[in-house]
C-alpha cells in the first residue's frame, strides 16, 4: 500500500513497524525470560514433574476432538439439508437457529449450574462439550450453508439421476466439495474448545478432569506464586498452540477470518 | 475448489437407476431429518437454557435440590437499581469504544504496512496474530506479570524517563479497567489485522496506481482509497465487538477478578460471581436475561443498519 521509493523511506517504514510490534513482543519476552530466571531449566523440570500434568493436555485434546467431531457432523448434515433438500418452513427453522448466534455462554451458567447438582454434571466432560458445541453450531451452520449454497444444484441433480440416494449425495458430493469450509469449521471449533475457560472452571473441579486453561491457577497453587515456574508453566501450556499456529498458519488465519466475513 | 472427485464417484453410484416419473425427479428429497441433529443440539440446548433462566430469574433460588420460591420481578428490579449492574454496563461501553478504536485503527495501519515492501513480513504477521490464538487463560499470568509493580512495564517506563507513570496497575481503582482493555487490545489487533489484510488484498492495484499518477501521497491513498474500501470489514468488527464486550469474562476474571472494588467488573464476571461464588441463582439468571436482551437488541439494531446500507 505504502510506496517507498527511496531507500530511506523503506528503512523508516521498517523501523516504524518494528517499534509498533514491541508491545506485542513484551508479554512473549516476559514469559520466556521469566521462565529461565532463578533455577533456569530447573523451572521446566519442576513444572514437568507436576503430577497429572499429562491429564490436563489429554483432557483438553479429548474435549476438542469430540466437540469438533460433533460440530462437524451436525453442521455438514444441516448445511446439506438447509441448502439442497426439501424442508417445509425451512427459513423458520434456520432463523430459530440463527437467533442463538450471539448468545453469550454466561447466559447458560445459572441453568447449567442449577442442573449440575441435580443431574450430576460435575466432572463430566459432557457438561463442557455439549454447551460449547451447542454455541458453535449456529455459527458453523451459517458459514457452511452459505458455502454449500454456492455449489451448483446440478451436481446433486446429476448424482440423483445416476441413482445416488440422499446419503450417497451427502457422502460423495457434499463432503468432498465442502472441504475448504470444513477446514475453517475445524480450526474455529478447535480454538474455541481448546481455549474455553468458563465452563471447565465451573464444572471440571477434580484435577483428573481439568483442562489446560486451568493449568495456570494450578501452577500458582502448586508454586505459591513462584513467578519463574508460573512463567515456565504458561510457556509449556501455550507451546502446542504456538506450534500448531506457526505450522498451519494459513488455515488458522483463514479459519478465524471466516468468522467475520459472512 | 477441487471438483475432480465428483464425476467418478457419481457414476460409480449404486447401480441401475430405477425408472423415475418426470414430475418426481424434480422433487427434492425430504431434508428435515438432516437438520434435526444440529437443530436439537443448538436450539434445544440453548432455548431450554434460556427458558430455564427465565424461570429461575423469577425465583429466590440458592441452588441445591431445595428449589426456589417465586418472587416475581424482584430480581429484575433489584438488578436495575443496583449500582454494580450499571457499573458493569458502563465498563462494557468504555471497553467497547476504546477497544474498537484502537483495534480497528491499528489493524488498518498494520495491514497497510505489511502490504507494502517490508522485510521479514511473515515474522511481523506471526507476532501480531499469535495473541489471537493463545488462550486468554494461559496468557493471563504473563499479563499480570507485565503489569506487576516490579514488572516489565514499569521497568520500561523507568528506563525511558517516565518514572512518574510507573504505578501498581492492577491493584488501583484508577487503572484496573485500562489494564483489561489494554490486554484485550493486545489479543485482538491481530484479528482485525487479518481481516483488513484480506480485504486490502482485493483492491485493484490499478486504482491505486492511477491515484498515484494523479499525485496522491501515501497517506492520501490510505485515507481516500484504502479505508473506504474496507468499510464492510470495519462494520463487521464493530458488530463482533459489541457481542464480545457483552460476553466478556476471561480477561477481567483472570486479571483483576473484576476489582479492585468492582472497577473492572463486567456482566460476565458479575453473573459468574452471583451464580457460582454466591449461589444466588435467581439473581444471576435475571442478570443473564438482561444480558440476553442487550445482546439480541444490539444484533437487531446492527442488522437493521446493515440492511440500510
* Highest mean pLDDT: which range of A85-99, B11-25, B41-55, B101-115: B101-115
Of B6, B131, B292, the CB nearest to A107: B292
Which tens digit of pLDDT belongs to each residue from A176-200?
998 888 888 898 899 889 999 999 9
* pLDDT for residue A80: 93
Instruction: Match 468458563 to its residue by C-alpha cell.
Output: A198
| Mutation site, A106, A108, A225, interface B, largest B CB count within 10 A | A106
Which chain B residues are within 8 Å of A173, Cβ to Cβ?
6, 9-10
Burial class, A217, CB count within 10 angstroms (exposed 0-12 / middle 13-18 / buried 19+): middle
Q: Which domain holds residue B190?
A: 100-270
pLDDT at B131 (0 to 100): 92
- The answer to the question of residue B9 being in a domain is no
Q: What is the pLDDT of residues B140-189, one digit of tens each?
A: 989 998 998 888 899 989 998 888 888 889 888 899 999 999 999 999 99
Buried b / exposed e over A12-28, threshold 16 CB at 10 Å, is ebbeebeebeeebebbb
Whole-number percent of chain B with pLDDT over 90: 43
pLDDT tens readout for residues B280-289: 889 999 999 9
Write the secondary structure of chain B as one string of H (helix), E (strand) and C (coil): CCCHHHHHHHHCCCCCCCCCCHHHHHCCCECHHHHHHHHHHHHHHHHHHHHHHHHHCCEECCCCCCCCEECCCHHHHHHHCCHHHHHHHHHHHHHHHHHHHHHHHHHHHHHHHHCCCCCCHHHHHHHHHHHHHCCHHHHHHHHHHHCCCCCHHHHHHHHCCCHHHCCCCCCCCCCHHHHHHHHHHHHHHHHHHHHHHHHHCCCCHHHHHHHHHCCCCHHHHHHHHHHHHCHHHHHHHHHHHHHHHHCCCHHHHHHHCCCCCCCCCCHHHHHHHHHHHCCCHHHHHHHHHHHHHHHHHHHHHHHHHHHHC
B1 — pLDDT class (breaks 50, 70, 90): very low
CA B2 to CA B287: how far, in whole Å? 48
Angle, in degrees to the nearest 10, between helices B231-246 and A249-260? 80
Q: Does B242 reside within a domain?
A: yes
On whether the A37-260 domain is CATH 3.40.50.620, my answer is no
* Run of H or E including A110: helix A109-119
Q: Write out pLDDT tens, residues A14-46.
A: 999 999 999 999 999 999 998 888 888 888 888
Hey, is the C-beta of B76 within 8 angstroms of any chain A C-beta?
no
| Nearest Cα residue in chain A from B109 | A17
pLDDT interval class at B7 (50, 70, 90): very low
- Angle subtended by helix axes A53-84 and A126-149, to nearest 10: 40
Same domain, B251 and B307: no
Grid cell digits, residue B213:
499518477
In a domain, B89, yes or no: no
- Residue B288's pLDDT is 92
Chain B: closest CA distance from residue A191 (Å): 7
The alpha-carbon gap from B173 to the nearest alpha carbon of chain A, in Å, equals 23
pLDDT of res. B24: 44
Task: Determine, yes or no, domain membership for B115.
Answer: yes
Quick check: B133 contacting A, CB < 8 Å? yes
Tens digits of residue pLDDT in B41-51: 998 888 888 99
User: Per the domain annotation, does B38 fall within a domain?
Assistant: no
Q: What is the pLDDT of residue B309?
A: 58
Task: Clarify whether residues B164 and B200 are in a common domain.
Answer: yes
Q: Which chain B residue has the Cα nearest residue A164? A: B13
Quick check: B99 contacting A, CB < 8 Å?
no
Question: Best interface-test mutation with A: which of B50, B63, B105, B142 has the largest number of A CBs within 10 A?
Answer: B142
Confidence of residue B20 (pLDDT cuts 50, 70, 90): very low
All three cell numbers of B71, joined, read 418472587
Q: Which of A95, A104, A144 to mutate to test the interface with B (most CBs of B within 10 A)?
A: A104
B175 and B297 co-located in one domain: no
Same domain for B134 and B180, yes or no, is yes
Confidence of residue A143 (pLDDT cuts 50, 70, 90): confident
Q: How many domains does chain B have?
A: 2
At residue B58, what are phi and psi to the nearest 5 degrees?
-95, 10
> In the block, which residue shows the cell 468499510?
B231
List C-alpha distances in Å: A15 to A10, A25, B103: 9, 15, 21
Rg of chain B, C-alpha, whole Å: 26
Which spans in A173-248 are helix H? 175-177, 179-195, 198-203, 215-222, 227-247
Q: Work out the mean pLDDT of chain B and round it to a whole number.
A: 85
How far apart are the CA of A150 and the nearest CA of chain B, in angstroms?
11
Q: Would you call B160 an interface residue with chain A, using a CB distance cutoff of 8 Å?
A: no
Contact B3 A213 (CB under 8 A): no
Are the beta carbons of B38 and A74 separated by less than 8 Å? yes
Task: State the pLDDT confidence band at B12, using cuts at 50, 70 and 90.
Answer: very low
Same domain? B176 vs B301: no
Is residue B64 predicted with pLDDT exceeding 90?
Answer: no
Q: Are B30 and A86 in contact, with CB atoms under 8 Å apart?
A: yes
Question: Per the CB < 8 Å rule, is A110 touching B118?
Answer: no
Residues 43-82, chain A: which have Cβ within 8 Å of B? 70, 73-75, 77-78, 80-82
For A141-162, what is the mean pLDDT?
A: 89
pLDDT score, position B4: 40
Chain A residues whose beta carbon lies within 8 Å of the beta carbon of residue B28: 84-86
Nearest-Cα residue of chain B relative to residue A156: B10
B197 and B121 within one domain? yes
Residues B294 and B161 in one domain: no
By CB atoms closer than 10 A (0-12, 13-18, 19+), residue B241 is buried
Predicted local distance difference test score (pLDDT) of residue A259: 57
Question: Is pLDDT at B5 greater than 60 in this prediction?
Answer: no
Rounded to the nearest angstrom, the minimum Cα separation between B88 and chain A is 14
What is the signed CA dihedral for B16, B22, B24, B28, rounded to 10 degrees? 80
N residues, chain A: 262
What CATH number corresponds to the domain at position B233? 1.10.3720.10
* Same-domain status, B182 and B303: no
- For B38, which of A2, A75, A198 is closest by C-beta distance? A75
CA distance B183 to B144: 10
Q: Across residues A44-61, what is the average pLDDT?
A: 88
* DSSP assignment letter at A205: -
Same domain, B67 and B109: no
| Residues B136, B248 contacting (CB under 8 angstroms) | no
Nearest by CB to residue A107, choosing from B28, B49, B135, is B49
How many whole angstroms separate alpha carbon B215 and alpha carbon B224? 13
Extract the C-alpha cell encoding B219.
497517506
Find the closest chain B residue to A79 by CA distance. Answer: B35
- Which residues from B are below 8 Å from A202, CB to CB? 272, 276
Rounded CA-CA distance B18/B273 in Å is 63
Average pLDDT over residues A151-159: 89
What local confidence, expressed as pLDDT, does residue B8 receive? Answer: 39
Q: Which residues contact B11 (CB under 8 A, 6 or more apart)?
A: A162
Is A176 an 8 Å CB contact of chain B? yes
What is the C-alpha to C-alpha distance for residues B85 and B257, in angstroms, rounded to an integer?
A: 16
Find the mean pLDDT for residues B130-143: 91
In a domain, B25, yes or no: no
Residue B29 has its nearest CB partner, among A86, A158, A220, at A86
Amino acid at each position: 500500500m505504502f510506496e517507498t521509493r527511496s531507500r530511506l523511506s523503506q528503512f523508516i517504514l521498517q523501523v516504524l513497524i518494528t517499534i509498533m510490534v514491541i508491545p506485542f513482543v513484551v508479554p512473549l519476552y516476559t514469559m520466556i525470560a521469566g521462565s529461565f530466571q532463578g533455577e533456569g531449566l530447573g523451572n521446566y523440570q519442576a513444572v514437568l514433574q507436576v503430577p497429572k500434568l499429562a491429564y490436563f493436555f489429554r483432557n483438553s485434546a479429548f474435549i476438542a476432538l469430540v466437540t469438533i467431531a460433533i460440530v462437524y457432523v451436525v453442521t455438514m448434515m444441516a448445511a446439506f439439508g438447509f441448502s439442497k433438500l426439501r424442508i417445509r418452513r425451512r427459513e423458520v427453522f434456520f432463523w430459530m437457529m440463527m437467533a442463538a448466534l450471539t448468545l453469550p455462554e454466561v447466559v447458560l451458567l445459572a441453568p447449567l449450574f442449577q442442573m449440575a447438582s441435580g443431574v450430576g454434571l460435575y466432572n463430566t466432560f459432557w457438561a463442557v462439550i455439549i454447551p460449547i458445541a451447542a454455541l458453535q453450531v449456529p455459527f458453523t451452520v451459517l458459514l457452511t450453508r452459505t458455502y454449500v449454497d454456492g455449489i451448483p444444484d446440478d451436481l446433486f441433480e446429476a448424482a440423483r439421476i445416476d441413482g445416488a440416494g440422499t446419503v450417497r449425495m451427502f457422502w460423495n458430493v457434499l463432503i468432498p466439495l465442502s472441504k475448504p469450509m470444513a477446514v475453517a469449521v475445524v480450526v474455529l471449533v478447535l480454538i474455541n474448545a481448546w481455549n474455553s475457560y468458563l465452563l471447565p472452571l465451573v464444572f471440571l473441579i477434580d484435577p483428573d478432569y481439568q483442562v489446560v486453561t486451568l493449568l495456570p491457577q494450578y501452577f500458582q497453587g502448586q508454586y505459591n506464586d513462584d513467578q519463574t515456574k508460573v512463567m515456565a508453566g504458561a510457556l509449556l501450556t501455550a507451546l502446542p498452540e504456538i506450534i500448531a499456529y506457526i505450522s498451519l498458519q494459513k488455515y488458522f488465519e483463514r479459519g478465524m477470518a471466516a468468522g467475520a466475513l459472512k | 475448489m477441487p471438483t475432480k472427485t465428483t464425476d467418478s464417484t457419481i457414476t460409480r453410484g449404486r447401480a441401475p437407476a430405477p425408472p423415475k416419473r418426470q414430475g418426481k425427479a424434480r422433487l427434492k428429497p425430504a431434508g428435515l431429518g438432516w437438520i434435526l441433529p444440529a437443530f436439537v443440539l443448538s436450539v434445544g440446548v440453548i432455548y431450554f437454557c434460556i427458558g430455564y433462566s427465565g424461570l429461575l430469574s423469577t425465583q429466590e433460588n440458592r441452588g441445591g435440590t431445595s428449589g426456589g420460591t417465586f418472587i416475581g420481578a424482584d430480581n429484575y428490579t433489584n438488578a436495575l437499581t443496583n449500582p454494580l449492574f450499571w457499573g458493569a454496563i458502563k465498563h462494557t461501553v468504555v471497553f467497547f469504544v476504546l477497544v474498537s478504536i484502537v483495534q480497528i485503527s491499528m489493524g488498518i495501519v498494520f495491514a497497510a504496512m505489511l502490504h507494502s515492501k517490508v522485510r521479514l513480513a511473515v515474522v511481523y504477521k506471526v507476532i501480531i496474530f499469535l495473541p489471537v490464538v493463545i488462550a486468554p487463560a494461559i496468557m493471563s499470568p504473563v499479563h499480570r506479570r507485565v503489569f506487576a509493580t516490579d514488572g516489565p512495564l514499569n521497568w520500561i517506563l523507568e528506563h525511558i524517563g517516565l518514572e512518574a507513570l510507573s504505578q501498581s496497575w492492577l491493584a488501583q481503582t484508577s487503572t484496573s479497567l485500562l489494564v483489561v482493555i489494554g490486554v484485550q487490545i493486545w489479543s485482538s489487533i491481530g484479528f482485525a489485522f487479518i481481516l483488513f489484510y484480506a480485504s486490502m488484498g482485493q483492491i485493484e492495484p490499478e486504482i491505486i496506481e492511477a491515484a498515484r499518477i494523479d499525485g496522491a501521497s501515501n497517506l492520501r491513498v490510505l485515507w481516500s482509497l484504502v479505508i473506504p474500501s474496507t468499510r464492510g470489514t470495519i462494520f463487521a468488527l464493530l458488530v463482533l465487538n459489541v457481542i464480545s464486550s457483552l460476553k466478556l469474562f476471561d480477561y477481567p476474571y483472570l486479571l483483576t477478578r473484576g476489582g479492585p472494588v468492582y472497577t473492572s467488573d463486567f456482566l460476565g464476571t458479575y453473573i459468574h460471581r452471583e451464580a457460582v461464588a454466591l449461589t444466588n441463582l435467581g439473581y444471576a439468571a435475571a442478570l443473564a436475561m438482561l444480558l440476553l436482551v442487550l445482546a439480541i437488541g444490539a444484533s437487531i439494531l446492527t442488522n437493521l443498519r446493515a440492511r440500510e446500507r
